[in-house]
Structure 1
Amino acid sequence: MIAGVFVQSSGLGTPLAVCFAPIVCSITANSLNGSGRSVQAHLLPARVELVDPEIKQKVNQRNWFYRFDLPDGSVTESYLPASAQQVHTTRLEMVERVLKPLLAKHHGLSGLDLASHQGWFSLKLAAMGCASVTGMEPRPGHIDDARLMARASSAENIRFVKSDIQNIDATDIEPADIVLMLGLIYHLENPVAAIRAARAYCRRVCLIETQVGPHLSGMLDWGSHEFVRPIQGCFTVIDETEETHGGEASTDGICLAPSAETLLWIMEKVGFVEVALVSPPADAYEQHRHGKRVLAVGWVP
């Protein structure tokens, strides 16, 4: 909650300053006017935006994968184990490190959040300064949750569309300056096609975050021991066929997780340039810290 500080110098009829910030203001008379007169500070009520009671009730009745900050100062509870919730904040910190300088320099950019889930990162894109954001998600329940949270947050520049990355409905999805694909490709049976789709719908920069598997390199006999080719990358196959009913698992069940080297190679092959891994912060979620998850960035030439 943000408290206001009303500052008035004795003997003056008008305030010298009004601060609305979540900090303690230390103010002296000399720094204000050099008069040596005493200064009084008074706490004012915080400026809080209220959430429509009906919408707030619906929010409270649902289960949330993320901890959403609501305009009234409350925060939703997450059903994700506390030990794993840092995955979201680590992703966000790494994404912001790439996007904030871009959004500060260029105004009016659009965002596309592929597999937007309940819309947490879509809302973050809007908060960072995207003029418009589209979230694309295959699960109707997640779409409903995301639309409700957008209403609760009074976010009018966000829309959510039901579509699958493996079969995008081009009538609803348009290319965007910024494309996010976070926590998705390791749930897919065709991650290469998904990365191609991300490139096709990206005008400036794409960020892909994924679980990664071990890497394999070397040479492979290709049709004959007399004809060999270099191994460019590899995928780890994971079975989620018993979990397709879940909100965070694969929709098909067969999952291919690339190695970090494979991800970078594919991004370059489908047309991204200046492809690189974004280094995690020192206090990152353990999987990012130990290289079991990576965030890659690729730019459009």
Structure 2
Amino acid sequence: MTALMRVADRLLHLQPNVLRSRTEAEKIGTRPRVAAPPPRRLRRRWRIDEDVVDGRPVLTLAPRGTTRDVTLVYLHGGAYVNELVAPQWRIIDELARGTGATVVVPRYGLAPEHHVDDAFALMSELMAGVRRERPADRVFLAGDSAGAGLALALAVEGSSSRATAARSDLRPDGLFLFSPWVDVTMTNPAARRMEAGDAMLGVDGLRLWGREWAGTRDVDDPRVSPALGELSGLPPTWVYQGGRDLFLPDVEIFAGNARAAGSPVTLRVFEDGFHVFVGFTLAAESRSVFREVRETIRRSTMTGPEAGRGHEQ
């Protein structure tokens, strides 16, 4: 762990972890939740337009210079109950910088008022619109934490052998997942064992909001817990995971099962990384991740759909 990452980890441990307690976690959904606006530096760097899709706000960031035939759809995390926060804008900025990609950021509805099927309705309309308006584009899905879990769930449904023609729009050309929440059942005992070392997550609070997010579905439904779905046929997928993140055990199981099913999944584990460590963009570890992602996106526009295909590590 670099010195910067070590300092950030210590500071995180000084903050209250409301997801450790179900009682404290319940309070999140009763408080006003306001999304962080794009910071000024992003507004200077990108042209930002706001639209409404399926009743939800969607921001589109386009480079002011040359664009490439790439669209990146980014889904923010927050245990399906928290709004987009400032570090997630930093992630979005880093992903877009130097790629020429158009970045689409939907603000999907949050629990307890909204559920996974609402998000799927939004994303079905949004992804179909992207394919219709930019048919030449390579379309990538990316996200952190819960948002990464939702991105994977969309890809699982869009890649399923039972997917309808309409559902196939959900299948991206590639996935970039940062500390994804792939199994909301939180039944893996290894997660509980890792809880003390995770400054941000807690099993009991996550179980609560995973159940709320599921709505009328079971928590083991693939829309809710995509690691439990059909994992064959996934597009090239890159997963970046911290070793001090209690999601790690489930992510490792997912990656192994997806590879066994023939899907090209690359998992990179940063041993001392905390949950969504890439949000701390000053760290050398984070910079290395963004360099790799940007290079993969650039390469995809130069050498066609097989460029940057994932591989086992």
Greater percentage in helix: 2
Q: Same fold (TM over 0.5)?
A: no
- The TM tier, using the shorter chain, reads 0.3 to 0.5
Greater percentage in strand: 1
- Higher RCO, 1 vs 2 (CA within 8 Å, ≥6 residues apart): 2
